[in-house]
Structure 1
Amino acid sequence: MTDSASLPQDTQSATRPALPVRLKAGCKINLYLRITGVRENGYHELDTLFYPLSEPSDTLDIEEGAAGSGLTLVCERADLCTERNTLHKAWRVFAETTGFRPDLRLTLTKGVPDGAGLGGGSADAAAFLNFLNASAGKVALNDEELNEVAARIGADVPFFLKNVPARATGIGEILVPCEVDLSGFTLLLACPPEHVSTPWAFKAWDDRYANKMDIDATERLTLSAHMFTRPSSRALWLFNSFESVVFAAFPKLRAYKGSLIRHGAAAVVMSGSGASLFALYREMEKAMQASESLMREGVKTFIHHL
């Protein structure tokens, strides 16, 4: 079985991935996340910095499906085997765009927790889109076209196509790759058992702050800079607009953040709409101690040496 985290980007090549194939889809954190406004259609304008992580990760095992079956999705979690899953949506949108409709059986093994703000479903969709495009031969899409397809599936999906640090604006679909140097730090990712719904988090933010966004664009950016750059970490450029509303509803998350800071973190920030938090440590030993402390409280942790 082929084991590949990313597939060739030369989609016009005659070489196609041999089946069965195994894909690994990682996750992301938001080094900062600012909500800058709300559109008339209800979508939120964002300014965020995506940073990819290899773990935790999901695994996608792809093999040939029965003739005429389209996509068959298998997962030990029945709630994920529905037409609403991003993998089904990726297959449908790619088929509608290119006419390429392979019969595939896809087994999804989850490692990225739900409701953690890590983009696991988006990462899965992007890995699958790259696979489909690498398999599509003459109807394969160029980078711009594939990015447009990805954006139709979800706002975070285009980021995972390239999987490099990138600043995202708009509703998250306008991406500019950027260099982020965190070398020398140890990153601790904490994934508490709490589950935070992204739609709930946006509504909670709207209920508390949206009326303050009824101003022109220049004032809005100024307001957001003052409202959401409170010292939520020891590095003021690392922050998250969601923290105030999420921590109010999930006080344990605030407590976990406090624990990470007490263990000597240089910065601690919630990722996405939560519930995961990441901490940057200058000393690996302190990160390990913090990890052990949280694991004793039932919190899963992942250590990345950057």
Structure 2
Amino acid sequence: MKMIVKSYAKVNLHLAVGGIRDDGFHSLQSIFAKISLHDIIEIDADISKDLNISIKGLDACNLKGEDTISKAIRLWCEKARINLDVKVNIKKRIPSEAGLGGGSSNGASTLLTLNKMFTNYRLSFDQLKTIALDIGSDVPFFLYDTTFAYVEGRGEFVEPLDKKFDYSIELYKPKHGVSTKGAFYKLDQIKRREFIKKEELINIFNQGVNQWKTFFYNDFELVIESDVLSKLREENNCFTLMSGSGSTCYKVCNKNDKCSLKTPFSEKYKDKIDTFSCFF
């Protein structure tokens, strides 16, 4: 049995990081947004005597069996009480160590696909969400059929936001990545802002990009220097932010704004920065 699915990236329109919880994770408050940039995952799976997993196309930085796709397959099979022979071929377009949730999206897409393929062993949404959180804090968001969501806790609380915006979004990914663990460590050394009230944050989101420019922020910008972000803010008046813990920065504009057509980086940067034009 074979299925081919798209696994979409995300950006954080707002990201506030709180203290460390009793379970060792940081408390977060964020607005997530799925974007059109995606990986393509082909899954070929059949019931088997033993569990076998073969994956082609993942980045070399992933240790065998420790990637989110392998984890999703193992955990889903354990919960469904079934063994599968699974062959996965993934065409990666979402860069790694970018703050775009590529690995998290891959894990969630795998869970949803297995659930569709093996209907006699289908898990409930709550079961999928529990597995997703075991894979990673951003994974639950990607289970939801929504473009935007308010997210808090360590990522376990997801409230879909029913809103549409006719915006263009351009991503700028430096060739270097950022260690998420290192970024959290640096953030723990400084005092940060209190969370905005949930209702207020959602109200700001609903008002659109002009309000985002005034009120939305990413706490990781306090500890991660980004020449890319500085350049973006010099060159245009769009909403600009770092996504996740970096290293990707982005700008959001109304599609008819002149700045949406303007590329702020000259030819000399083309070997240092990957650019992706997307939409929500």
**TM-score for both structures, normalised by structure 1:** 0.78
Query: Is 1:169 matched up with 2:147?
Result: no
What are structure 2's unaligned runs of at least 5 residues?
A: 201-210
Task: Using the aligned pairs only, state the percent identity.
Answer: 27
Q: How does 1:248-263 map to 2 (within 5 A)?
A: 253=226, 255-263=227-235
- Change over 3 Å in CA distance of 1:173–1:235 after alignment to 2: same
What are structure 1's unaligned runs of at least 5 residues?
A: 1-17, 214-219, 226-232, 248-252
RMSD of aligned Cα (Å):
2.6
Match of 2:26 in 1: 44
Match of 2:223 in 1: 245
Q: How does 1:225-240 map to 2 (within 5 A)?
A: 235-240=213-218
Query: Is 1:288 matched up with 2:261?
Result: yes
Verify the 8 A CA contact 2:51 2:83 in the aligned structure 1: no
Match of 1:277 in 2: 249
Deviation track 1:6-42 (CA, whole Å, cap 9, x = no partner) reads xxxxxxxxxxxx42x2222110000000012221343
Task: Give the letter for the 2:234 counterpart.
Answer: R
Separation in 1, partners of 2:180, 2:63: 20
Deviation track 1:155-211 (CA, whole Å, cap 9, x = no partner) reads 11111112421111111111011134432x3211111112001111111111233xx
Name the SS of the counterpart of 1:274 in structure 2.
coil
Match of 1:203 in 2: 185
Name the SS of the counterpart of 1:103 in structure 2.
strand
Separation in 2, partners of 1:186, 1:221: 28
Match of 2:43 among 43, 62, 76: 62
Verify the 8 A CA contact 1:74 1:108 in the aligned structure 2: yes
By how many angstroms is 1:126 displaced? 0.7
Match of 1:151 among 133, 143, 151: 133
Name the SS of the counterpart of 2:123 in structure 1.
coil
Query: Is 1:182 matched up with 2:165?
Result: yes
Match of 1:127 among 95, 109, 127: 109
Verify the 8 A CA contact 1:238 1:267 in the aligned structure 2: no
Name the SS of the counterpart of 2:277 in structure 1.
strand
By how many angstroms is 1:128 displaced? 0.6
Name the SS of the counterpart of 1:82 in structure 2.
coil
Separation in 2, partners of 1:163, 1:202: 29
By how many angstroms is 1:117 displaced? 0.5
**TM-score for both structures, normalised by structure 2:** 0.84
Match of 2:204 in 1: none
Separation in 1, partners of 2:231, 2:271: 11
- Change over 3 Å in CA distance of 1:28–1:199 after alignment to 2: same
By how many angstroms is 1:66 displaced? 10
Task: Give the letter for the 1:49 counterpart.
Answer: I
Task: Give the letter for the 1:240 counterpart.
Answer: N
Query: Is 1:137 matched up with 2:119?
Result: yes
- Higher-Rg member (1/2): 1
More displaced 10-residue stretch of structure 1: 296-305 or 139-148 = 296-305
Runs of 4+ more than 4 Å apart: 64-67
Separation in 2, partners of 1:110, 1:271: 19
Name the SS of the counterpart of 1:80 in structure 2.
coil
- Change over 3 Å in CA distance of 1:75–1:304 after alignment to 2: closer
Of Structure 1 and Structure 2, the greater strand share is in 2
Name the SS of the counterpart of 2:100 in structure 1.
coil
By how many angstroms is 1:65 displaced? 6.9
Verify the 8 A CA contact 2:150 2:158 in the aligned structure 1: yes
Task: Give the letter for the 1:301 counterpart.
Answer: T
Deviation track 1:208-252 (CA, whole Å, cap 9, x = no partner) reads 33xx79xxxxxx548xx9xxxxxxx971222101101011xxxxx
